[in-house]
Amino acid sequence: MASAITEIKRGDWDACANPGWGSQPAGNGQAESSFERLPYNPFVSWDFLDALEQSGAVSRRAGWVPRHLVLEGENDIPAAVMPCYVKSHSQGEYVFDWGWADAYERAGGRYYPKLQVSVPFTPVTGPRLLTPPGPGAAKRKQLLAAGLIELCRQNNVSSAHVTFLPEADWSLLGDVGFLRRTDKQFHWTDAGFGDFEGFLAALASRKRKAIRKERREAVEAGIEIDWVTGSALSEAHWDSFFAFYMDTGSRKWGRPYLNRRFFSLLGERMADRLLLIMARCDGQYIAGALNLIGSETLYGRHWGTTGDHPFLHFEVCYYQAIEFALAHGLARVDAGAQGPHKLSRGYLPETTYSAHYIADPNFRRAVENYLEEERREVALSGEMLARHAPFRRLSGRDSCGTTSGGEE
């Protein structure tokens, strides 16, 4: 167990978190040329997690205390790792368990502290049981899960929560005693559109017209859009963006989770994996959105503006993200949590997964009953939302390949 990610070598962590995307640590017995690569996820990289810790956004004071799990392998090189935190509250997680905490404490229990396996403040699906693929990977994941349960028992905490994990690992954790939970997000997927006009052509006509109208009105006051990434990112860009982030975040949530230093650290370490989409008017930036670039996915994370600009949020966060993904060969745009309003803009419902270990057997049964019903409701709502997808319906099969009936 590590009380800071700096206790684990950067190369060792990343060899488990994003195998094949960097040089492998010496002595692991496998050449990179033959190493199987999983999709690169920037949020589980050592650089991203360390920026959270070094900036103080993740700290004891913030209620996120690092307790990263390490499964030791040969030559003291980690065979698997897990980003884990001791939590004294349920903020910044996006899988809401406040009702569970309230019920347990009203019954005389103590819900906090708890263990949280996640990327803090980041409702993005990605690996949580971090290990290279290949023979023994499933066993290593099972050992991580067993270690998490043992950490619960040793520290007498109420529960452990693994959030926004892939479906396969969700199933694995369910098989070793975790309760399974689902939810919905809205993601855009390239169905071979080619460019933005190709994407629009796949939409029903009224949806296509609505998007064109929104895009015109978003920039009709002379607003221009910049894509800023890599070496072009400067502290001045971060100053502008942070002002937007703080203004919008303070109005929506009361206290934004991230601080100014975090963004500087991110820019220093991961510039080529960052994209700022900035809106400019009369030479001054007026709004912006931060995205992270994976190997297959553009991840929209934070948005802010200091003014009221109709449709600019949709332009900067959704339409520009689609344009960037299409221009750079990215198959998906993950625009984050919330947002049924994304559906009419081409972002379709997808299931997200979390797994929960509850130590108290009586409380566990109550949560399990609740989750069974919740999963049914989530599945039903997903089916209903999918029927309202904005794509044209063509002779029994819609433009995304889903069976349908009738014409547009």
Q: Closest Cα partner for 129 from 175, 66, 84?
A: 84
Radius of gyration, alpha carbons of the chain:
22
* 152 neighbors 115 (Cβ within 8 angstroms): yes
| Nearest-angstrom CA–CA distance, 216 and 232 | 27
Kindly report, residue by residue over 359-382, the tens digit of the pLDDT: 999 999 999 999 999 999 999 999
- β-bridge partners, 358: 159
* 288 neighbors 304 (Cβ within 8 angstroms): yes
Whether 182 shows a pLDDT value over 50: the answer reads: yes
Query: Is omega for the bond preceding 120 within 30 degrees of 0, making it cis?
Result: no
DSSP states along 275-305 = EEEEEEETTEEEEEEEEEE-SSEEEEEEEEE
Structure-derived torsion over alpha carbons of residues 187, 192, 197, 200, reported in degrees to the nearest 10: -50
Kindly report, residue by residue over 83-111, the tens digit of the pLDDT: 999 999 999 999 999 999 999 999 999 99
Question: What is the CA 254 to chain-centroid distance, rounded?
Answer: 22
Whether 259 shows a pLDDT value over 60: the answer reads: yes
* 191-330 CATH fold: Aminopeptidase (3.40.630)
Q: Which range (221-225, 231-235, 271-275, 400-404) has the least confidence?
A: 400-404
* 128 neighbors 116 (Cβ within 8 angstroms): no
Tell me what the pLDDT averaged over the chain comes to: 91
**How do the domains of the chain map onto residue ranges?**
5-185+351-385, 191-330
Q: Which helix (H) or strand (E) segment is 149 a member of? A: helix 137-155
Q: Which range (157-166, 215-224, 247-256) has the least confidence?
A: 247-256
pLDDT score, position 252 = 61
- β-bridge partners, 126: none
Q: Closest Cα partner for 181 from 381, 351, 66?
A: 351
The one-letter amino acid at 247? D
| Nearest-angstrom CA–CA distance, 246 and 153 | 39
Q: With 0.85 as the threshold, say if the pTM is over it.
A: yes
Architecture of domain 5-185+351-385: 3-Layer(aba) Sandwich (3.40)
Tell me, yes or no, if the two domains 5-185+351-385 and 191-330 fold the same way.
yes
Q: Which two tokens stand for residue 300?
A: 């929209």
Which residue do the tokens 């693929």 mark?
Answer: 133
Whether 195 shows a pLDDT value over 60: the answer reads: yes
| Nearest-angstrom CA–CA distance, 75 and 78 | 9
Question: What is the CA 175 to chain-centroid distance, rounded?
Answer: 24
C-alpha distances in Å from residue 120, one per residue of 4, 78, 91, 301: 14, 22, 9, 12
> How much of the chain exceeds pLDDT 90, in percent?
85
Residues 6+ apart with CB under 8 A from 84: 66, 67, 68, 69, 115, 116, 117, 148, 151
Q: ∠ CA(119), CA(377), CA(167), 5° rounding?
A: 40
Q: In 10 A of CB 80, how many CB atoms?
A: 24
- β-bridge partners, 227: 277
Kindly report, residue by residue over 303-351, the tens digit of the pLDDT: 999 888 999 999 999 999 999 999 999 999 999 887 889 999 999 999 9
Whether 23 shows a pLDDT value over 80: the answer reads: no
**Region 186-207 average pLDDT:** 97
| Nearest-angstrom CA–CA distance, 272 and 229 | 6
